[in-house]
Amino acid sequence: MMNVRNGLLLIAAMSAVSAFSAAEAKQGWAVIAEQKVGKGGDVDTVQINNPRKFQSVRICVYGRAVHLNSFSVQFRNGGRQDLDVRTNYRPSKCSRAVDLKGEKRHIEWVMLNYNRRPGDGAPVVRIEAK
């Protein structure tokens, strides 16, 4: 049975999650893909099936820490933008917003080069754009 204190904590936690989601939506970020990170070092190419054009992209980490070495963004017109990151990201943290070169662009795929930090549980990386 839930006491009043636990009920208030639950309401506060739900409000924090709602506030975080609302703040992200207000900033215009949309999740365009998710990728579960395998054990050890990994390189994954994630297809983006979104018809919108974007001006910025960022990588967010959930579940466990990830060391992001680099990522590349391939555009539908054949152009490509490579980004050297070499940064550890704790869960619920995102990379800086990276402005895509040129005008708003259609993203075809994103290649992620990362390492999973030791421990149980698989991290999930979200690719977000606006």
CA atoms within 13 A on the CB side of 72: 11
Residue 42 pLDDT? 85
CA–CA distance, 116 with 123 (Å, rounded to integer)? 7
Query: Would you write out the chain's pLDDT as a tens digit for each of its 130 residues?
Result: 544 444 433 343 344 343 344 455 557 999 999 999 988 778 999 999 999 999 999 999 999 999 999 999 999 999 999 999 999 999 999 999 999 998 899 999 999 999 987 777 889 999 999 9
Secondary structure in 3-state letters for 35-77? EECCCCEEEEEEECCCCCCECEEEEEEECCCEEEEEEEEEECC
CA–CA distance, 33 with 127 (Å, rounded to integer)? 5
Residue 47 pLDDT? 97
Domain boundaries, the chain: 29-129
User: What would be the CATH architecture of the domain defined by 29-129?
Assistant: Sandwich (2.60)
pTM above 0.85, yes or no: no
Residue 26 pLDDT? 54
Residue 108 pLDDT? 98
